[in-house]
Structure 1
Amino acid sequence: MKLADVIAVLESAYPPKTAESWDAVGLVCGDPGEEVTRVLVCVDPTSSTVDEALEGGAQLLLAHHPLLLRGVNGVPADEPKGALVHRLIRGGAALYCAHTNADSALPGVSDALAQAIGLTVTGPLEAGEEGGTGIGRIGELAAPEPLSAFAQRVADALPATVQGVRAAGDPDRPIRRVAVCGGAGDSYLATAKRAGVDAYVTADLRHHPASEHIESGGPALVDVAHWASEWPWCEQAAEILRSAFGGRVDVLVSTRRTDPWTVGATSTAAGGLA
């Protein structure tokens, strides 16, 4: 298969026109006319995943996060991002990024997160222009369970990180109807509250918005690491390519943990706090 054939499948599943105006999606480097026999799917295009792609003989690294999100005037090899572009080109590998277009697609990033948690999706959190597309998903558990058990369910479903999984709300609160948003989702706190869900699962929640949300009677919050929330998408994207090419292209999911946090510590000082 040619790289152009793989791109056509990706752009059918994750149309570039649905990406946010500020986003940078599509082919970063690579020749559409070159042959592709192996693809590696990852969340982050980093030195680690580039190593993995080149060591594994992949001709395409498919990443969720863009490498060059902000405008650049060049990609010199003595700068970190430029160095990755040069290494990929020298190694005969292309880089393609599907970001907010993969977030809003059906299925998309949040569908993969919902499936990993065990939710039956009923619709988007914030609807898009077509059908069930849009940002985030709302789904239901087969049966209610307390927030403490639900938080553990989420932790068990996602790859481990230093941050782990934390929840805000009454540990005994029954959880059945859930909103999810892969990636940073605190801009949808009000949307989740209006949706009347029992809990909202997302990443990168900040202190003040989370505190104000809980104080205002919003749904319970489950905060996970950004990378972990989007990692289930890798298998979704891989399966789309496998189905399209019927085994003619070997599609692998990265095993590298690219969450930036590497050390965790717990305070042993009581500090007189209740």
Structure 2
Amino acid sequence: MSKAVKCQQVMEALERIAPKRLAEEWDNPGLLLGSPAQEVHKILTCLDVTDEVVAEAASLGADMILAHHPMIFKGIKKLRTDLPLGARLQKLMVHGIAVAAAHTNLDTAEGGVNDVLAKAIGLTDIQPFAAKAEEGAEPTLGRIGYLPESMAIEDFARQVKENLPVEYVRLVRAGDKAVKKVALCSGAGAEFIAKASFLGADAYVTGDVKYHEAQQAVEMGIHVIDGGHFGTEFPVAAVLAERLREELSGLKGEVEVVTDTLSRDVFAVI
């Protein structure tokens, strides 16, 4: 077997892609399971560390999983292997699989989740828009950009659906206004609806929109397209794998980076 890289080298590459300083205070990115000193021959990138992803990693011979969502958010007081998280951690340790996460730091980072989403749905002249932009030089959680040509909101909603890994999107239609300027925030970003409206966006793309948040959007005159949490974030897994390959290519050790292709949204329409 060829010489592997160290887990610490993978974490250093991840830091270059998505610096931890960009993470929100409540977040928990970084190395969550494993040792910086362990050898890594194969990495699996994914959105969530589910049982299916752990099984996929084990079957592929991966010794590290790099996820967007941290599998550990809060302190663990009991490690019960009869419960889902404990059982999952046990399987990972049995197979010697390290786990790391890049969450809100990857949302915010240039070329991260929000930039991937913006490009996927056809935006150009993409710029950051959310809170941190007002404070200084760091990137921000959300993005705002433009469609090449104005279009009806229904047509844009179909374009979003066709370019994301989803079976459907939910449309909050705020009148007959055409769409040209679009704001977005991947995952659960309804908190920025008012910000997007203030910045003059015709439409806002995010996930996990609640009823009263949709009402607020209509009152403000901004269309909303809810592409789901999974749909707006899963595309970054493949892009992250490619970025890692580039960052790790100059190292003396060899490491293979593969992407989860089995995960699906937990929601379905019946």
- Is TM more than 0.5 here? yes
Percent of pairs with identical residues? 39
Counterpart Cα distance in 2 of 1:5 and 1:242: 12
Query: Counterparts of 1:176 and 1:75 in 2: how far apart (Å)?
Result: 51
Distance 2:7 2:96 in 1: 12
Q: Which amino acid aligns with 2:269?
A: G
Equivalent residue number for residue 95 of structure 2? 91
Contact 1:26 1:97 in 2 (8 A): yes
Matches within 5 A, 1:145-156: 145-156=151-162
Matched residue type, 2:162: D
Q: Deviations over 1:72-117 (max 9, x none)?
A: 1132322211111111111121110111111111122111100111
Pick which of 226-235 and 117-126 moved more: 117-126
Deviation at 1:138, TM superposition (A): 0.5
Query: 1:256 Cα deviation (Å)?
Result: 2.1
Which residue is equivalent to 1:254?
Answer: 260
Structure 1 counterpart of 2:231? 228
Distance in 1 (CA, whole Å) between partners of 2:136 and 2:36 is: 29
The Cα offsets for residues 177-228 of structure 1, whole Å up to 9 and x where unpaired, read as 11110000111111011110111000001111211221232x2110111011
One-letter code aligned to 1:75: L
Tell me, in whole angstroms, the C-alpha distance in 2 between the residues paired with 1:130 and 1:48: 41
Deviation per residue, 1:7-37 (Å, 9 max, x gap): 0010122122221121111111112112212
Matched-pair contact (CA < 8 Å) for 1:238–1:253: yes
* 1:194 paired residue number: 198
1:46 has 2:46 as partner: no
- The alignment partner of 2:54 has SS state of helix
Mapping for residues 151-190 of structure 1, pairs under 5 Å: 151-161=157-167, 164-169=168-173, 172-190=176-194
CA contact (8 A) 1:38 1:249 kept: yes
Aligned letter for 2:179?
Answer: I
- Residues 148 and 172, structure 1, Cα contact 8 Å, conserved in 2: no
Alpha-carbon separation, structure 1, partners of 2:216 and 2:96:
50
1:181 aligned counterpart, secondary structure: strand
By how many angstroms is 1:65 displaced? Answer: 0.8
Q: Secondary structure at the match of 2:179?
A: strand
CA distance in 2, matches of 1:171, 1:250: 49
Partners of 1:228 and 1:213 lie apart in 2 by: 21
> 2:72 — aligned with what?
68
| Residues 55-84 of structure 1: CA deviation (Å, up to 9, x unaligned) | 111111111111111221132322211111
Deviation at 1:127, TM superposition (A): 4.7
Distance in 2 of aligned mates of 1:117 and 1:50: 30
Q: Over residues 126-154 of structure 1, what are the superposed CA-to-partner deviations in whole Å (9 max), with x where a residue is unaligned? A: 15356461011011111111111100110
How does the TM-score come out when normalised to structure 2?
A: 0.91
Matches of 2:62 and 2:220, distance apart in 1: 49
Contact 1:44 1:258 in 2 (8 A): no
Alpha-carbon deviation of 1:43? 0.7
Structure 2 partner of 1:111: 115
The aligned counterpart of 1:268 is: none
- Alpha-carbon separation, structure 2, partners of 1:132 and 1:7: 21
